[in-house]
Amino acid sequence: MLTLTANAAQAIRDLTASAPDAAQSGIRISSQGEGASSLTLSLATAPEPADAIVEAEGARVYLDPVAATVLEDKALDAGADDQGSVSFLVTDQTA
């Protein structure tokens, strides 16, 4: 299952803190079309019925079935640039 770094969890909490239902809000990673070649990330107020849910340190990530399969052995990290823009990075899980 996808894991979250502390940086990713903090970034997700920051992004969802002002959401109308912060207790259920998170980010959603979903596939575009039938293939797994393109994944998108968006803010979500709740999971879709078929989504897998990853929770860590108060942050939630919702994964559609294709994204859950593609990211099952990956880690999600986050960082910010000098202007404060957040970017997410998928890496291999470390043992």
**Cβ(34)–Cβ(23) under 8 Å?**
no
Summarised one tens digit per residue, pLDDT across range 20-37 is: 887 889 999 998 866 557
The answer to whether the predicted template modeling score (pTM) of the entire model surpasses 0.85 is yes
Summarised one tens digit per residue, pLDDT across range 40-88 is: 999 999 999 999 999 999 999 999 999 999 999 999 999 988 888 999 9
CATH entry, 3-92, from 3.40.50.300, 3.40.50.2300, 2.60.300.12, 3.90.25.10: 2.60.300.12
